[in-house]
Amino acid sequence: MTKPQKLFFAIAFLILFSWSALRSMGLPFLVEPNLLFLNGTASLPVGLYMSIPTIEYRNGDIVAFRHRDMAETAINNGWLPEGEEDIVFLKHIALPGTVYTLDKDGSFSVGGEYIGIVAKDDGKGHDLPQLPKGHHIVPPNHFLAYTKEQNSYDGRYIGVISMDKIIHRVIPIITK
C-alpha cells in the first residue's frame, strides 16, 4: 500500500471512529444518524460511503436501504455474521418504469444493459430465489437494487423493493 493510500485509510478510520464514539456517548444531536456507511462486501467497492442530500433519485444512484428478507437470507446463508440486527445494504438502483430482464439462459439486464448471471445457488449449496423469466417493469414507488458483481444478492433474486426502504443516497468516500 502506498503512503497516500495509508493516509487515506487512516483518515477514514479516524472519521468512522470519531463518529461512532460520539454516537455511543449519547450525543446524537452532534452526529446525524446514518451519515457514514462501511461496505465490507464485494457487491460494491469495499470502503467508506457517505450519505448525501437527495431531492430526486436517478437510475444508477447508489443507495443505502434496509430489507428484512434480504438480511435474514444473508445471515441464514452465512454471508453476513449472526447477531447483526440492523443490516444496511448498498446497491445501485433502477427507478420506476425501468425494464429489467431475466433471460432463459440466466442473463440479467437492467435498462438494456447486461448486469450478470442469475445463479441457481450460492456455491455453498444454498438455493437462491428465482424470479420469473422475461421482461419486467419496475412499478411506481419501487426500485430494483443491483450491482455488476456476480455474487451480489440483489434484484435478480428478490425483485423490486418499496422506495420507503431507502435510507439515503450515498457516494463512495474511500474505497479500495
Side chain identity at 83, as an amino acid letter?
A: G
Count the domains in the chain. Answer: 2
Whether 123 is in a domain gets the answer: yes
Domain co-membership, 108 together with 90: yes
Side chain identity at 93, as an amino acid letter?
A: I
Whether 176 is in a domain gets the answer: no
Reply yes or no on whether the pLDDT at 98 is more than 70: yes
Domain co-membership, 80 together with 127: yes
CATH code of the domain covering residue 109: 2.10.109.10
Predicted confidence (pLDDT) per residue in 45-77, tens digit:
998 899 998 889 999 999 999 999 998 888 888
Q: What is the pTM of this model?
A: 0.80
Question: What pLDDT is recorded for position 119?
Answer: 93
Whether 118 is in a domain gets the answer: yes
Reply yes or no on whether the pLDDT at 22 is more than 90: no
Predicted confidence (pLDDT) per residue in 129-169, tens digit:
999 999 999 999 999 999 999 889 999 999 999 999 999 99
Domain co-membership, 20 together with 38: no
d(CA 74, CA 152): 11
Domain co-membership, 77 together with 7: no
Instruction: Give me the half-sphere count of Cα atoms (radius 13 Å) on the Cβ side of residue 161.
Output: 26
Question: What pLDDT is recorded for position 29?
Answer: 41
Domain co-membership, 164 together with 82: yes
Domain co-membership, 48 together with 22: no
Mean pLDDT of the chain: 85
Domain co-membership, 8 together with 62: no
Give the bridge partners for 92, in sequence order. Answer: 62, 146
Question: What pLDDT is recorded for position 38?
Answer: 85
Domain co-membership, 87 together with 145: yes
Domain co-membership, 104 together with 89: yes
d(CA 90, CA 168): 10
d(CA 23, CA 96): 35
d(CA 110, CA 59): 10
Question: What pLDDT is recorded for position 176?
Answer: 82
Reading phi first (left if > 0) and then psi (alpha if -120 to 50, else beta), residue 19 is in alpha
Question: What pLDDT is recorded for position 31?
Answer: 41
* Cα 42 from chain centroid (whole Å): 10
Look-up: residue for cell 493510500? Answer: 5
Domain co-membership, 15 together with 75: no
- Which of 5-9, 16-20, 37-41 has the least mean pLDDT? 16-20
The domain of 82 spans 34-171
Reply yes or no on whether the pLDDT at 107 is more than 50: yes
Question: What pLDDT is recorded for position 34?
Answer: 72
Domain co-membership, 43 together with 104: yes
Contacts of 88 (CB under 8 A, 6+ apart): 34, 37, 64, 65, 66, 167
Domain co-membership, 80 together with 164: yes
